[in-house]
Structure 1
């Protein structure tokens, strides 16, 4: 489980395809603190560490993960948001994030807003919806939804988040990973028979 509070960004160092899997080598200051078999969120996707070197580590994404996330389009040198799994007893500064991406969205626009930025995203997955002032995870970042509409929402990004995540690289037409709020998903599931 994660919180959506990004620890650092890593840089894609190498991408190696093997059958339908993709081995992703990441350069990161976290590498020396990781352990084999540890879960790390990469742009919101929970992946298992399978190899560690001095300042890099390797994770493997399977076909289903590649089909449902933006990991399929990673490029060498690209920045990825990183968060290690939370420890029991830690503060939950963001919200409950599983690292199980529900789908992707496209950035529709980025607008400056007096010292911050408003990013608007559109998505096609009708199984999910956002709630005004509810939580959403975009590329692993826990955010508050503003301007919730069917298939569309916005988030406001403060300068700290902009500078310390890969939001600084998101532009119109950039594809991002989405994880909708787990509590909202459970409520929707429970209410389905009565709707």
Structure 2
């Protein structure tokens, strides 16, 4: 588990095919590795990876074909900047929100514009994720915990303050940038709970307004 508070901006040193998938080596910059052991988890742009090699100022992790297919890690090459966060501990302050490091889908930045010292971002999410994104709710973008300002269909808006621009890779975003999205895990589990026994059906009924009305959750 993670908090969505980025600890360092790392850099891809190498990403190479190994046995049908990939191994990535990341320079960790200011992220301390003293308390990280082989087998520990580190989120790279919001993707939970397992450290399989540790060296001075760098680590390596294997990236499966499943992860490559559902995240932006396959887009990265040497020199690419990435958000880094080690797994939380029981003493870690939860300043963001609970993040699993399991990416739900890839979105695309539609617009970046300045608003005083902040930036306003508009991001298009995959249609299947739209129902989990709510105004003033939490969303994780490339591993960064952010608050949704507005949602219209599959498009949501964010306000990025100067500190976040400086301490994450969001300052690199441009229209067209692909980003990893993880929705609020509570929303995902709530959907399954509302399905009740229907959750066991192979093609379980989707949560819609009509579904909520039939089961007394909406007027």
Shift of residue 185, structure 1, vs aligned partner:
1.2
Distance 2:127 2:38 in 1: 34
Which residue does the alignment assign to 2:12? Answer: 12
SS in 1 for 2:128: coil
**TM-score scaled by structure 1?**
0.95
- Root-mean-square deviation over aligned CA pairs: 1.3
Shift of residue 128, structure 1, vs aligned partner:
4.4
Which residue does the alignment assign to 2:201? Answer: none
Equivalent residues in 2 for 1:162-181, closer than 5 Å: 162-181=165-184
Equivalent residues in 2 for 1:142-181, closer than 5 Å: 142-181=145-184
SS in 2 for 1:96: coil
Which residue does the alignment assign to 1:23? Answer: 23
> After the TM superposition, which of the residue ranges 116-125 and 39-48 deviates more from structure 2?
116-125
Shift of residue 189, structure 1, vs aligned partner:
2.1
Deviation digits for residues 65-87 of structure 1 (CA, Å, limit 9, x no counterpart)? 00000001111101100000110
**TM-score scaled by structure 2?**
0.85
Distance 1:20 1:181 in 2: 32
- TM-aligned CA distance change 1:158 to 1:127, over 3 Å: closer
For structure 1, the residue ranges without an aligned partner over 5 or more in a row are: none
Distance 1:140 1:41 in 2: 7
Distance 2:101 2:33 in 1: 22
Equivalent residues in 2 for 1:126-137, closer than 5 Å: 126-129=128-131, 130-137=133-140
For structure 2, the residue ranges without an aligned partner over 5 or more in a row are: 199-210, 213-219
- TM-aligned CA distance change 1:138 to 1:94, over 3 Å: same
Which residue does the alignment assign to 2:204? Answer: none
Mapped contact 1:136–1:142 kept (Cα < 8 A): yes
Mapped contact 1:147–1:153 kept (Cα < 8 A): yes
Distance 2:48 2:70 in 1: 13
Distance 1:158 1:35 in 2: 33
Q: Which runs of 4+ in 1 moved over 4 A?
A: none
Which residue does the alignment assign to 1:187? Answer: 190
Larger radius of gyration between Structure 1 and Structure 2: 2
Equivalent pairs, count: 195
Mapped contact 2:42–2:51 kept (Cα < 8 A): yes
Higher relative contact order (CA 8 A, sep 6+): 1
